[in-house]
Amino acid sequence: MVRQPLTAEQIAAGQRLGVALRAARAGRSLVEVALAAGISPETLRKIEAGRLPAPAFGTVVCLSQALDVPLSDLADVWLTDMPVRQAS
């Protein structure tokens, strides 16, 4: 199976997701959140920087839980240009 290249829209959605995750992380360290989500800090760094614009669904689910951000909010960011509210 050959994976199709991401479209410009998918890349932009991934960049929005990265920005939203960084904002939701707020004062927490990247390492703390990555370890809580069960991913490497480098993976989270790539997602937040937009260099990994289409992370695996399971990764997004784990980040959602680690950041206490509803998965539906992250889906909205992917689908539209809405910011995620900051975790409290």
pLDDT at residue 87, as a whole number:
53
- The answer to whether residue 53 sits within a structural domain is yes
Q: Kindly state whether residue 1 falls inside one of the protein's structural domains.
A: no
Domain membership of residue 88 (yes or no) is: no
- Indicate if the pLDDT at residue 81 is higher than 80: no
Split into its structural domains, the chain has a count of 1
Structural domain includes residue 25: yes
Could you give the CA distance from residue 31 to residue 36 in angstroms, rounded to a whole number? 8
Higher pLDDT, 33 or 86: 33
Whether residue 2 lies inside any domain: the answer is no
Average pLDDT over residues 73-81: 87
Per-residue pLDDT, 76: 92
Q: Residue 25's pLDDT is what?
A: 94
C-alpha dihedral, 14 to 87 to 27 to 55, nearest 10°: -20
Domain that holds residue 35: 8-79
CATH number reported for the structural domain that contains residue 39 in this entry: 1.10.260.40
pLDDT tens profile 10-60: 899 999 999 999 999 999 999 999 999 999 999 999 999 999 989 999 999
Is residue 87 a part of any domain in this protein? no
